[in-house]
């Protein structure tokens, strides 16, 4: 086992601590976001009533402008609410205790959190099968998905596509995350899951190396591998057993 002050175990402990911090932070953010959403709903109802009234043309134009602005704010509130909900779900399982979780839901939450990397240049396609619940540490598993999605987005230069697919497997589930990016060269194939390996500049990525991703999946009794060709993108495949019962997946 690696010394607790360094190496992969220290990274896993850091993730668990981060999850607990996120849970508290998101709780604090959630209350004002809910207040903003509620106030926005009241404002829109009031503006709708004004728009239905017999108003002078110049006042009507101003009311319509305010309605447009309030509608944009409503979309922003919905986006924030979705993000808060997603982080809450991921952070809820930040301890080492394993709980039954919906992997498709974890993937949807991770896609929401990775959206800032996609912007308008990347199309996301999902093909999610009917899955049995998986015994896991949701925060840790969600961090793996988030890291793979951010890696996929950063591997794509210009326009591209990310595909997320899930299927039931014998006594488990399969997850594939594919991209149309630059792929992984032969010189890097053997180093992808090595501790400390990265092709990104400092500060880029989701902060979770693929070596840690592999360790987290192994602690869930699963496996992770990939297929890639230079210039033809990459596909990461994860298989997780549905009934894994050993503790410490999130430690």
- CATH of residue 174's domain is 3.30.565.10
The secondary structure of residue 247, as a DSSP letter, is: S
- Residue 1 domain-assigned (yes or no): no
CA pair distance 87, 110, nearest whole angstrom: 9
Within this chain, do residues 116 and 138 fall inside the same structural domain, yes or no? yes
- The H or E element containing residue 52 is helix 7-52
**How confident is residue 206, by pLDDT bands cut at 50, 70 and 90?**
very low
- Residue 110 domain-assigned (yes or no): yes
Within this chain, do residues 67 and 104 fall inside the same structural domain, yes or no? no
Q: Which residue from 72, 89, 86, 73 is spatially nearest to 35, judged by alpha carbons?
A: 73
Within this chain, do residues 116 and 34 fall inside the same structural domain, yes or no? no
**What average pLDDT does range 44-65 have in this prediction?**
88
Of 44 and 247, the one with more pLDDT: 44
- Residue 156 domain-assigned (yes or no): yes
- The H or E element containing residue 178 is strand 172-179
- Residue 249 domain-assigned (yes or no): no
pLDDT at 153: 92
**Three-class secondary structure of residue 224 per DSSP:** strand
Of 66, 92, 118, the residue that ends a domain is 92
Within this chain, do residues 151 and 75 fall inside the same structural domain, yes or no? no
- Residue 236 domain-assigned (yes or no): yes
**How confident is residue 1, by pLDDT bands cut at 50, 70 and 90?**
very low
**How confident is residue 3, by pLDDT bands cut at 50, 70 and 90?**
very low
Q: Which two tokens stand for residue 237?
A: 């495949």
The model's pTM: 0.65
122-136 confidence digits (pLDDT tens): 999 999 999 999 998
**What average pLDDT does range 142-159 have in this prediction?**
90
Within this chain, do residues 77 and 117 fall inside the same structural domain, yes or no? no
Within this chain, do residues 173 and 235 fall inside the same structural domain, yes or no? yes
Of 77, 92, 107, the residue that ends a domain is 92
Rg (the chain; Cα; Å) = 22
Within this chain, do residues 14 and 125 fall inside the same structural domain, yes or no? no
Within this chain, do residues 87 and 103 fall inside the same structural domain, yes or no? no
Task: Count other Cβ atoms within 10 Å, centred on residue 160.
Answer: 18
- Residue 251 domain-assigned (yes or no): no
Within this chain, do residues 39 and 159 fall inside the same structural domain, yes or no? no
Of 72, 92, 112, the residue that ends a domain is 92
Query: How many domains does the chain fold into?
Result: 2
The secondary structure of residue 34, as a DSSP letter, is: H
Within this chain, do residues 177 and 192 fall inside the same structural domain, yes or no? yes
CA pair distance 18, 50, nearest whole angstrom: 47
Within this chain, do residues 109 and 228 fall inside the same structural domain, yes or no? yes
- Residue 250 domain-assigned (yes or no): no
Residue with tokens 């990775």: 114
- Residue 247 domain-assigned (yes or no): no
Q: Which domain, by its residues, includes 219?
A: 99-241
CA pair distance 207, 170, nearest whole angstrom: 32
CA pair distance 113, 148, nearest whole angstrom: 12
Within this chain, do residues 156 and 201 fall inside the same structural domain, yes or no? yes
CA pair distance 247, 155, nearest whole angstrom: 34
């Amino acid at each position: 086992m690696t010394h607790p002050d360094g190496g992969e175990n220290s990274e896993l402990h850091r993730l668990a601590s981060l999850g607990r911090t996120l849970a508290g932070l998101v709780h604090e953010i959630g209350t004002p976001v809910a207040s903003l959403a509620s106030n926005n709903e009241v404002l829109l109802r009031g503006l709708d009533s004004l728009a239905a009234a017999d108003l002078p043309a110049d006042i009507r134009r101003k009311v319509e402008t305010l309605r447009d602005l309030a509608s944009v704010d409503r979309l922003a509130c919905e986006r924030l609410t979705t993000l808060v909900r997603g982080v809450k779900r991921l952070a809820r399982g930040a301890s080492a205790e394993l709980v039954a979780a919906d992997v498709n839901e974890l993937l949807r939450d991770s896609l929401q959190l990775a959206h800032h990397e996609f912007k308008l240049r990347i199309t996301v396609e999902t093909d999610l099968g009917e899955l049995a619940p998986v015994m896991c540490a949701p925060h840790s598993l969600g961090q793996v998905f988030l890291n793979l999605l951010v890696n996929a987005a950063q591997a794509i230069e210009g326009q591209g596509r990310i595909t997320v697919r899930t299927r039931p497997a014998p006594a488990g589930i399969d997850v594939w995350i594919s991209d149309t990016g630059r792929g992984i060269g032969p010189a890097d194939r053997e180093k992808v899951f090595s501790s400390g390996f990265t092709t990104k500049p400092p500060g880029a990525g989701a902060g979770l190396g693929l070596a840690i991703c592999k360790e987290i999946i192994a602690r869930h009794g699963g496996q992770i591998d990939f297929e890639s060709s230079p210039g033809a993108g990459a596909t990461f495949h994860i298989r997780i057993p549905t009934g894994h019962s050993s503790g410490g997946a999130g430690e």
